[in-house]
Every structure is written in C-alpha cells, then in structure tokens.
Amino acid sequence: MNVQELKHPGLKKWVEEAVALMSPDTVEVCDGSKAEYDRMIKITVDAGLATPLNPEKLPGSVLFRSDPSDVARVENRTYIASQREEDAGPTNNWINPAELKKIMTDLYKGSMKGRTMYVIPFSMGPVGSDIAKIGVEITDSSYVVANMHIMTRVGTKVLDVLGSNGAYVPCFHSVGKPLGPGEKDAGLWPCAPLDKKYISHFPETREIWSYGSGYGGNALLGKKCLALRIASVLARDEGWLAEHMLILKITNPEGDVKYITGAFPSACGKTNLAMLIPTLPGWKVETVGDDIAWMKFGKDGRLYAINPEAGFFGVAPGTNNESNLNAMESCKKNSIFTNCGLTEDGDVWWELIGHGAPGKEILDWKGNKRPAPKTDKSPKGEEIAHPNARFTAPARQCPCIAKEWEDPAGVPISAFLFGGRRPKTIPLVNQARSWIHGVFMGSIVGSEVTAAVISDQVGQVRRDPFAMLPFCGYHMGDYFKHWIKLGQSHDESKLPKIFFVNWFRKNDEGKFIWPGYGENSRVLAWIFDRCSGKGKAQETPIGFLPTLDAITPPQGVSQGDMQELLKVDIEGWKAEIADVRKNHYPKFGDKLPKELYAELDAIEKRLNA
Ligand code: O2Y
Ligand code: MN
C-alpha cells in the first residue's frame, strides 16, 4: 500500500510530514504479509546484514551481527520528556520536550536518504481487543520491520481497526545512517554513535521518537517504549495496569486452572518461569506471556490480563534444553538471531547452550573466526555470543503456549509474584498480608547484581521496584500511588493475592540451596492453593510463610535447608528495613505515599515485638 491510500487523514498527514523531514528514497506501508516478511529478510541478506542459517537445522531463520556499540537497551540515552521535570521523577532522564524535539528534528533531517521508509501499523494485543492499543512505527530498518512482524501484530488488519479517526501512538525510528548516492550498508550494521542515540518518550502527547540505534528495545518500539513507558502513563490515567510481568497458566492435578503474573528484574529467569516444566506430578504450566502484562478490570471486579506481544525477544546465552526446553523449541524455525555465534554447519551457538560447537572454527558475534569451543563456557570478556545476544521467535511456536494466549478478553489473574535474586534474608516464598502490604513488597524489589550486568557492583542489591525502574514513564512515587489507589477503589477479595518469591538463596559456602527451574512448581502449587483458600501457612512479622510441611522438598534439599528457606531472619529483615528507610524510599521524596512508610513502620514494629 502507498501513503496516498491511507484512509486516516491524521495518520496520512503525519507520515507525509515525516517523509518531508527524513527524505527517504521510497516509502512503503507494511501489510504484515508473509511475502513482506520474506522480502525484508532478503533485503537484509542482500545487504550483507543477515546470514541465512542451515535450513535443515533452523528452517526460515537468519543471524544478524550488530555494531559493537549497539548491543542493548541504552538507559542513559533513554528520556522521559514530560512538560515538568518532577513528573518524570528522579529515576528517569529528563529533557524539556521542546528542546529534545529540536535536537531530534535536526538529527532526523535527511536521516533516511538512500533508504526506504517503512510505515508499520501494529497492534499491541490481539487485534480489536478492548485492552489492545495501536501504534504506528516509521522506520528505515528492514531488521526492525521483520522483528516487528514477529513481536507484534502488523499490517492492513490493524489499519482496518484504526479506521479513519482511531487513536494510535506515533513512533518515529531512524537508525541515523543515511546513505550517499550508490552507497550500500555492505555488511555494516547501520547506527549512529552513542552520543547521538536518543530513545525518547513524550508522555503527555503519547509519542515515541527513537534515533541512532537499531537494536532491541531501542528500536522495536512496541515493546518497552509503547507497552511499558507510554502504556504505564495511559494505565495511570485510565485506571488499569501496564506491567513488566510474565503471565502463566497453571493447572492442578484436579484440572483446576489459575493465571499468575510475575515481575522480576532482568537476569532472574522470567522467561524460564513463564515456560516452566513442572517436576511436581500432575501439575501443568503453560505460557500466556513472558515479559509484559496489560491488566484491566472486568465487569466481575477481577483483573484480566493480556500479553500485548506476539513473540519472544529472549536472551540466548544460558538458554538450553535443561534451563528452558520450551524456549529452545520456540526458536527452532522462523526465528531471527542477533549476536550469536555461527557454527561451521550453519547453526547458532551461545554460551551455556549445553554443548560445544562442531568443527574446527566458529564465527563470534563480531564475525571473527575463533577456534570452535569444546565446552559451552567461555572466559568473561571472550564470549562467542554477546551476553545480550537474542532470539526473536513467534509465541505461537512455543510448545507450552496456552490456548487462550490470544483471548481478546484476557485471562483472570489470581496472583501477582514479585521476586529478585537475593542470596540471603528473603525467604523462598512469602504471601502479603494485604494489598497494601503487597504494594510495599513490590516497591522494595531488589536483586543482587550479577557479573553479567555491572562488574563493579557485583554482590550489591540493586532496588528495582516492581521491576519497572527502567520502564515507568512517570514519577515512581506516583506509580506506587496508582497501585495503592487501585486497591482502595476495588473489592480487595477479588484482587490478585500478592507473593514475594526468591529462588536464589545461597548457603554459607555460596551454593544455591534451592534448585529452581522445574522445582519452582512446588512453590507455584502452594501459591495456587493459597489462592483457593488452602495451603498451610503461618503468620509472621513479614507475611504468611508456608508451614514446614506445606511444600515437599525436591531431591537434594534437606529439612534443614527447608527450615533455612522458610525462616524469618529477624536481623536480616531489620537491616533490609533500615536500608529501605535510609537509602531507597528517600529517593522518591515527598511523592513516596505515606501508606508505604506506614507499612515500613508496621513491619519494623512486628520485627521488634
Ligand atoms: O537489550 C534489549 O534491547 C532487550 S531488553 C529486554 C528484552 C526482552 C525482555 N526484557 C528485556 C528487558 O530489558 O527487560
Ligand atoms: Mn523485560
């Protein structure tokens, strides 16, 4: 379709203005067809940006290598440009919106010369669902178009729902690398230098402007930019929740079903939990989503969640048949790999894939020839795959995708989980005493920094409230208030119960006490039972903990270990509370709701009783 055929006058005008500003050679409106996807892949292969993989191993799949300066989300170049700085809050980068638009307009001038401008109409959520939202991304990257085909619902069907006056979130994206006459990418991933990259959000006007990066969350604007940063603002204004949460379906041996969402900071195994294979006989876990949940109240007073995405943008290193068989199966075909190793037989390879690489040599993520590794480990800094290497895979290919994953009405949520990587103090599982206590738990989520993230902070706890710190499009103090208000304005008995889980407790020798992965089903089963008014628990100063006989320990976990996992570490908790009071809550100034200080005081009082 060409721009003249667009039936939405506002959209047509916006695209025409973008064309005038960015000066592409040609413009295409994406139809979302398989032929279009195949053409995008061919364009990237012809430009030397993608390598087709062995069709006998990974049919319909390709590998990309990005520029070494463009390998992950760039938080220090991500902006919330609200009119008032205090509305962005202390945890977001802020620039005055007019100033930022001036800087970026100058960058966008002629930025698409020599390239095609693609106009991608996309739906976050099943097309036409009451909970879904429409976005339109303008981009000059065929890599982005192909990824958006997998991660969202793209094309003419979205324009049909939009009609001639529907609402959409306009999203600009340019890699920031115009081409001169006759110039080609010639195998070089196009992007701009770091100090020219901008990932900008304008919350009042619901706009996204991204420049200079072609990678992941910086460029696939439906994901973190729309579905979290802009949607969190919409959710606050419209009375719903846009959360950084997985959604799973769990069925007990009697065939009863519940749906649970969970928020975890990165590197806590969120995708693994969403696709868990239970070790507990008779239980079944299926996936609705692995990263984002949009939740609205139904007429019955319950919260209903949809997964706004249509694919997984999963971290490859560490994913293997043991840690996540379902993810491995999901990316066996029709997938896009970015920054993985390439074996001699045309397969992808990454650290902790579960085996060495065949043959004599392998190409690393920078395209350098290296000796084929005999094991699946590499020294830090010498990895074959980049630590943030990714697979983009259609969710429908996941063997454990729940049949209702695309239900436009969403699924009713029984429990929220919060968690982090906490080697000490935080028990295996702890149920909040009330909604406000649960909000308190969410507000203090923290995770131990692992070597993969920031090496000079290894071992320290980094607080990441609700796992939303990089993704909340407004002041986090107001975000806490929004959660509290939802609880106060709805029947608490119908709201999800709230739990804090910790799969990462270590003993004094630094060894994990709990095996995690499929064994986490034992904890999910207790949570399931608690949501049915069953499941044995004891009231403690920090919440409801399972009694010692409530969770059958997995093999290798002794009764002593279970005691350690389920005890209240009074001194540890006093230190936790003191840290929250001294270092965490003051960050939010007078926007920190008084109800959360009251919870802090109440827990402290119970710990001292
Ligand atoms: O580095 C990126 O661009 C990807 S970040 C990401 C991707 C999938 C799911 N979650 C995340 C995240 O950072 O939370
Ligand atoms: Mn995420």
239-275 confidence digits (pLDDT tens): 999 999 999 999 999 999 999 999 999 889 999 999 9
Among 212, 232, 247, 277, which Cα is nearest to 66's? 212
The arithmetic mean of pLDDT across residues 17-21, rounded, is 98
Positive or negative, the CA dihedral 581, 470, 88, 203 is negative
340 is catalytic: no
Do residues 421 and 270 touch, judged by C-beta distance below 8 A? Answer: no
Q: Which atom of ligand 1 is nearest to the CA of 467?
A: 14
Domains located in the chain, CATH noted: 3-47+75-238 (3.40.449.10), 243-310+403-608 (3.90.228.20), 312-396 (2.170.8.10)
Choose which residue among 143, 271, 272, 291 to substitute to test ligand 1 binding: the one with the highest number of ligand atoms within 8 A of its C-beta.
291
Q: Which pLDDT does position 128 carry in this prediction?
A: 86
The distance in angstroms from the start CA to the end CA of the chain is: 70
Q: Whose CA is nearest to atom 12 of ligand 1?
A: 266
Residue 557 DSSP symbol: -
Q: Whose CA is nearest to atom 1 of ligand 1?
A: 72
In angstroms, what is the span from residue 107 Cα to ligand 1's centroid? 25
In angstroms, what is the span from residue 590 Cα to ligand 1's centroid? 31
Q: Which atom of ligand 1 is nearest to the CA of 471?
A: 14
In angstroms, what is the span from residue 185 Cα to ligand 2's centroid? 30
Transcribe 124-169 into DSSP letters: ESSTT-TT-EEEEEEES-HHHHHHHHHHSEESHHHHHHHTTT---E
Q: What are phi and psi of 29, to 5 degrees?
A: -95, 125
Ligand 1 residue neighbourhood (C-beta within 6 Å): 72-73, 215-217, 266, 291, 313, 388
pLDDT > 80? residue 393: yes
Q: Which pLDDT does position 458 carry in this prediction?
A: 73
Q: Which atom of ligand 1 is nearest to the CA of 71?
A: 1
Residue 339 DSSP symbol: S
In angstroms, what is the span from residue 493 Cα to ligand 1's centroid? 34
pLDDT > 60? residue 350: yes
The arithmetic mean of pLDDT across residues 156-167, rounded, is 96
The arithmetic mean of pLDDT across residues 293-304, rounded, is 97
Q: Whose CA is nearest to atom 13 of ligand 1?
A: 266
Hey, what are 233's tokens? 């603002």
pLDDT > 90? residue 513: yes
Looking at the CA of 292, which ligand is closest? 2
Q: What are phi and psi of 229, to 5 degrees?
A: -70, -50
Over the chain, what is the mean pLDDT?
97
188-206 confidence digits (pLDDT tens): 999 999 999 999 999 999 9
Q: Which pLDDT does position 456 carry in this prediction?
A: 67
Q: Which pLDDT does position 1 carry in this prediction?
A: 84
Which residue type sits at 587? K
* Choice among 171, 191, 225, 268 that is catalytic: 268
Residue 357 and residue 157: Cα distance in Å, rounded?
43
The arithmetic mean of pLDDT across residues 477-493, rounded, is 97
In angstroms, what is the span from residue 73 Cα to ligand 1's centroid? 7
Q: Which pLDDT does position 494 carry in this prediction?
A: 97
Q: Which pLDDT does position 460 carry in this prediction?
A: 87
Q: Which atom of ligand 1 is nearest to the CA of 314?
A: 8
Do residues 229 and 80 touch, judged by C-beta distance below 8 A? Answer: yes
Neighbours of 495 (CB within 10 A): 20
The arithmetic mean of pLDDT across residues 315-337, rounded, is 97
Task: Provide CB contacts within 8 A for 537, sequence distance 6+.
Answer: 431, 530, 544, 545, 546, 547, 550
pLDDT > 60? residue 453: no
The arithmetic mean of pLDDT across residues 126-137, rounded, is 95
Q: Which pLDDT does position 452 carry in this prediction?
A: 52
Q: Which pLDDT does position 125 carry in this prediction?
A: 98
pLDDT > 60? residue 455: no
Do residues 110 and 22 touch, judged by C-beta distance below 8 A? Answer: yes
Q: What are phi and psi of 479, to 5 degrees?
A: -65, -45
Do residues 98 and 271 touch, judged by C-beta distance below 8 A? Answer: no
Q: Which pLDDT does position 451 carry in this prediction?
A: 61
Residue 327 and residue 317: Cα distance in Å, rounded?
12
Task: Provide CB contacts within 8 A for 298, sequence distance 6+.
Answer: 304, 409, 410, 412
